[in-house]
Chains A and B, each alone.
Chain A
């Protein structure tokens, strides 16, 4: 299959072109800046919205802007029928992975992203350390202090709640 989408391909195009201005609609292959994409209601409340844009963006400047094809890729990876492998692959990239593994710094950024922005919603230093130790103990199989893609996929396959990794327009 080329994508995992069904009727939503048409819907996606409609939503995408809604965000473009009048002149931009005429040009083929326009690139939407990240700020406009983040106004979509499905992404607005998501703590990972900026990472999602960066991961699916194919621009050279690495500014998170998306063309329509990138947008389709995004929806395709997040759709219901995408397989677990695809979802876990993209989830790994979205969770602050830049160098192929998730190390302590990446995990800390991830946890802070999940719990909130303000100081009182963050975990203390001791709690963060304990949490990261626990995560590494559970998922780091080769004991190298980082979580690589296969370890991540192994953890995900055992988890019953990963079905919530989807965005529906």
Chain B
């Protein structure tokens, strides 16, 4: 039986879209049936008889079957089929037009053709971040900024927070007075201070308490808090949805290096490649992957053969090196802490030395973080060579260390900022924070995040222009040993991904303090796309260590999720724990930012209040937790049961194969005996055995043929 017939059966059985496909196929038959018929009569009939079953074209076999079924069509079925066909056409057209307006489609196609699927996934990840930041900005804009803009320019009445003359609510203006030198404007632009401080850019500007429109009253503090929670939640949902498919593949693949060689050999070649260069690239990457995997297997064997003494030695070395790594990390964090405190004190003292030196003081934390993030990966990649792990684990472990370093450095910066903010001369602080130095501390934190973002962008652009382009020129034109050792630039995907995840984490933390930051990040990632693309095409050669497309998406989104989790912590702590500043911002009338919610809830109607209190009570939380645990245990048990079933089926398949061979051997013996008994008879190979596999019939023929020869030679003796 032909694969086409089997595929027909298969398609009939599938529940989803089964009727649709059938309908569409039948309708296609009715339209194109006559044409196919004509063609098939032209083709030579003798060819059909000669060639074996499986070599006949798919169409003619299905053709005869289709003709038989076409006569059963009724008119209402035809109408249903035409509706199905129309809907399916509509859906396909919709999907096509949606994919054609996707941003940068042409550029990404070009990159895929030239560099393969791993680098393609980096660029589509970048595109995803642009869209995410844009959506976050639209959220912030429409719920926080738009009401204020409408109210101040059109209709609406804004009630501002009262200034009750308390010492905590003094907010000295930081705008520059008098004649302002031009470079001070630049300094303001780069540091977010001066004329930028009292603008929509920072938290401190949103002093509105309630906005009264003709019909409704808009509670701005509540909106601000809810939008923060909403954008964090939206990011979580979108990332998880995007990583769902990659996660499934990873789970299946990571099970026990399951089928990795078969996958590489049987499905490794991408038949869509039309470019000769891309084909060469694919070949070399496949070769490299195979060699790496084989080597890793040999190393695993070597590890398994280690003696006790060697194991002890290696564990001691690993312990020492891990302690060294921890001490390096601690040193970096301490230097970030010192730099932040120094920078804050320098800014507070307001001693103007020099334009450049002032800027360096402002950017000192960013500089220290960037340098630490530059040196530590090099250090880690050197250290890992001594720890004697398998190559794949080496890569992953180095990456984990780098991720940890990058994301925790932001946390350390924020922690040192907060220790500064909550440190007063006389303990405890009068307003809950140091009001004399930080009359509006949220704006201060927003400025630090703003500076980190700007500096990150400047560094990426500067490294591309001042390091990668000269490197290419040197390697191309200079023939010295340095050029050969340095080599041409490779696009290191993990490091680049960590860079943009770092930027995105800053954006998530900083949006609460600086509502315009998502827009800045959107523009930043937009330009980074073009910078990276130009650098890639002009400077880079394809990576010798290929990144698998199916697992790289999962890696990117996993790191992004870690960044999101890390970003939620500072925001949660500052919303719930630290007293918000009394001099600026929407939460002046509340102790902490979180207080808006309980206050609003207590003003709701009684029924809703009881419901919300019930939802947040301990009884509900505990029972919800218990139910979730039960569901999780059920799913784990189900997965375990499925695994067992799979193993059983595999053993069954193996046994079926052995049964087949046993039967073939018996048949051969029977054949031999019957041929020996009647040597003159022309025993035809019997095709009567059920050949549901073409291979089975071929095997059968072969073995019967083998059984044939000995009798001939026996009689000739």
Contact = CB atoms under 8 A, between A and B. Distances in A.
The answer to whether A and B assemble together is yes
B59 A121 contact: no
Given A2-B59, A99-B702, A135-B262, 8 more contacts: A1-B25, A1-B62, A29-B44, A41-B274, A45-B278, A47-B283, A142-B661, A148-B695
Nearest to B56: A58
Given A83-B10, A149-B693, A114 B699 contact: no
Interface stretch (B102-110, B119-127, B263-271, B524-532): B263-271
A166 B272 contact: yes
Contact of A114 (B39, B54, B286, B654): B286
B284 A165 contact: no
A86 B58 CA distance: 10
Given A83-B11, A121-B283, A161-B263, A45 B274 contact: yes
Contacts of B63: 2
Interface stretch (B287-295, B340-348, B462-470): B287-295
B265 A142 contact: no
Contacts of A67: 43
B297 interface: yes
A148 B290 contact: no
B484 interface: no
A103 to B, nearest CB: 12
Interface of B: 3-4, 6-7, 10-11, 25, 28-29, 32, 36, 39, 42-44, 47, 50-51, 54-55, 57-59, 62-63, 66, 249, 252-253, 258-263, 265-276, 278-279, 283-284, 286-287, 290-291, 294, 297-298, 549-550, 650, 653-654, 656-658, 660-661, 693-699, 702
Contacts, number: 196
Contacts of B249: 160
Nearest to B654: A141
The 6 closest A-B pairs by CB, nearest first: A142-B657, A100-B698, A45-B279, A100-B695, A1-B25, A164-B270
A37 B436 CA distance: 82
B627 to A, nearest CB: 33
A169 B677 CA distance: 60
Given A83-B10, A95-B266, A3 B274 contact: no
Given A123-B290, A160-B249, A167 B259 contact: no
B252 to A, nearest CB: 7
Contacts of A28: 42
B272 A168 contact: yes
Q: Does more than half of chain B's interface fall in helix, strand or loop, or is it mixed?
A: helix
16 contacts: A2-B36, A45-B273, A45-B279, A70-B57, A73-B58, A89-B3, A89-B54, A114-B268, A114-B269, A114-B286, A131-B261, A135-B262, A148-B696, A149-B695, A155-B262, A164-B270
**Among B47, B54, B265, B696: residue with most chain A CB under 10 A:** B265
A116 to B, nearest CB: 5
Nearest to B295: A127
B271 A167 contact: yes
Interface of A: 1-3, 28-29, 41-42, 44-48, 58, 60, 67, 69-70, 72-73, 76-78, 83, 85-86, 89-91, 93, 95, 99-101, 107, 110-111, 114-116, 121, 123, 127, 130-131, 134-135, 138-139, 141-144, 148-150, 152, 154-156, 158-162, 164-168
Contact of B57 (A69, A83, A130, A148): A69
A139 B278 contact: no
Contact of A110 (B265, B283, B287, B696): B265
B48 to A, nearest CB: 9
Nearest to B37: A2
Contacts of A158: 252, 258-259
A150 to B, nearest CB: 6
Contact of B266 (A91, A148, A166): A91
Given A46-B271, A115-B290, A135 B57 contact: no
